Amino acid sequence: MNKDILKRLFRSIDGKPDDDIVKVAYDIVKDEENKGHHLLSKQLKAILDQNVTTSKKLDNQLKDIFSISNNRLSKSKSFPLAVQIPREELRHHMVLSDDIENKFLLIEKEYVARERLAHFGLKPKQKILFYGPSGCGKSMGAERLAWNIGLPFYKVRFEAVISSFLGESLSNLKKLFDSINDFPCVLLLDEFDIIAKSRNYGQDVGEMHRLVNMVLFLLEEYKAPGLLIATTNLETSLDKAVFRRFDEVLEVKKPEEKEIYTLLKMTLSATKVSKEVNLKDYSKKLLGFSSAEIVKIAENASKLSVINNIEIINKIHLDTIIKEFARFNNNQ
């Protein structure tokens, strides 16, 4: 292989010593040495050693942020500012309206095409705000994006970020953002209103001002290689200046009849359903329920049929569960 192509290839390698791609690269170095290409093998080894060292350094840096941070929160424990959700645990099967699904797809396509966009002086959407009712898939949407574009997924722990010590919350927040400057990942700020409430809200105006100002600054300066996803079901409580800092502000609504029908059909697919159960009729009956509630209703109806030793879900099962959910919602 041409030596210039080999060097370019080696510069693109990024990993740990025990990664397969790194092991293969070191084998190539040995092979070039055995062929008598001493100068080339030294150059390739130097490039590879540098990449592995940099990756190791970054990995240790991330451990400081995502594993053992903010010792002052507890004398006996240390809390990570963010935790990683393993890829195999990411929820990525979503039922969305065509409009919302297309917007999700566009975010994914733009990120995948980020290098081509850069040639034209364009940038993909990287700072996304999801808002809408609880249980409609905002957090799941962040996980789905991470799954589809192949990035590691981290969820911020606000109980570790927010401190009772004056100024430490600001320091933790900045430390968190600094840690992902060179690390491609999806970082989820779930219940974003915790740190981005309107500066006119509450009594502790001075501290709230400082925290929100820091959030605004960090969002404005965000140039990390991954995605930043914030979610809230209290969008009216957010500081107005926050919205324009995001590349995309997307409302995730309660499902309509079409999506409800799909959710019911998917959730009940492993169980026999009586012919008297018309899922289209139930799709109309369940309008106003969140996606999470609809899935739970279908699951509970399945459980009810199993514990009653009935191998088929009938109307009584579904109606009983729906009444329980409706009663709970009315009492809230």
Residues 173 and 208 in one domain: yes
Question: Bigger pLDDT: 78 or 13?
Answer: 13
Residues 205 and 138 in one domain: yes
pLDDT in tens, 178-189: 888 888 899 999
Is the confidence at residue 148, as pLDDT, over 80? yes
Residues 134 and 17 in one domain: no
Can you give the CATH number for the domain in which 88 is found? Answer: 3.40.50.300
How far apart CA 110 and CA 106 sit, in angstroms, is 6
Residues 146 and 184 in one domain: yes
Question: Bigger pLDDT: 20 or 223?
Answer: 223
Q: If you average pLDDT over residues 8-28, what whole number do you get? A: 76
User: Which pLDDT score, from 0 to 100, does residue 69 have?
Assistant: 42
Is the confidence at residue 67, as pLDDT, over 70? no
Which of 86-92's residues contact partners 24+ apart within 8 Å by CB, and which partners? Answer: 87/146, 87/147, 87/152, 87/153, 90/143, 90/144, 90/146, 90/147, 90/153, 91/140, 91/143, 91/144, 92/140, 92/143, 92/144, 92/147, 92/148
46: in domain:
yes
Assign 164 a pLDDT band (cuts: 50, 70, 90).
low
Lowest mean pLDDT among 27-36, 229-238, 284-293: 27-36
User: Which pLDDT score, from 0 to 100, does residue 281 have?
Assistant: 95
**Domain limit, last residue, from 188, 219, 251:** 251
Residues 179 and 152 in one domain: yes
Q: Please give the mean pLDDT across all residues of the chain.
A: 84
Residues 60 and 93 in one domain: no
What is the pTM for the complete model shown? 0.75
Residues 246 and 261 in one domain: no
Residues 147 and 119 in one domain: yes
Assign 145 a pLDDT band (cuts: 50, 70, 90).
very high
How far apart CA 190 and CA 38 sit, in angstroms, is 53
| Percent of the chain surpassing pLDDT 70 | 86
Helix (H) or strand (E) holding 90, with range, is none
Residues 111 and 240 in one domain: yes
| HSE of 49, CA atoms in CB hemisphere, 13 A | 7
Residues 316 and 175 in one domain: no
Is the confidence at residue 330, as pLDDT, over 70? no
User: Which pLDDT score, from 0 to 100, does residue 311 have?
Assistant: 79
Q: What is the DSSP string of 124-136?
A: ---EEEEE-STTS
Is the confidence at residue 54, as pLDDT, over 60? no
Is the confidence at residue 57, as pLDDT, over 70? no
71: in domain:
no
199: in domain:
yes
178: in domain:
yes
**Domain limit, last residue, from 251, 274, 308:** 251
Residue type, 213: N
Lowest mean pLDDT among 15-29, 47-61, 113-127, 295-309: 47-61
Lowest mean pLDDT among 98-102, 158-162, 234-238: 158-162
Residues 56 and 137 in one domain: no
User: Which pLDDT score, from 0 to 100, does residue 262 have?
Assistant: 96
Task: Give the full edge-to-edge strand order of the sheet including 186-189.
Answer: 82-85, 153-156, 186-189, 227-232, 127-131, 248-251
Residues 289 and 210 in one domain: no
75: in domain:
no
Helix (H) or strand (E) holding 308, with range, is none
Overall number of domains in the chain: 3
Q: CA nearest 216: which of 249, 185, 246? A: 246
Can you give the CATH number for the domain in which 262 is found? Answer: 1.10.8.60
Q: If you average pLDDT over residues 203-226, what whole number do you get? A: 84
Is the confidence at residue 153, as pLDDT, over 60? yes
Tell how strand 186-189 and strand 312-313 pair up. unpaired
- The whole domain housing 262 covers 257-331
276: in domain:
yes
User: Which pLDDT score, from 0 to 100, does residue 75 have?
Assistant: 36
How far apart CA 43 and CA 314 sit, in angstroms, is 71
Is the confidence at residue 294, as pLDDT, over 90? yes
pLDDT in tens, 220-267: 999 999 999 999 998 988 989 999 999 999 999 999 999 999 999 999
113: in domain:
yes
265: in domain:
yes
Helix axes 20-34, 38-66, angle to 10 degrees: 160
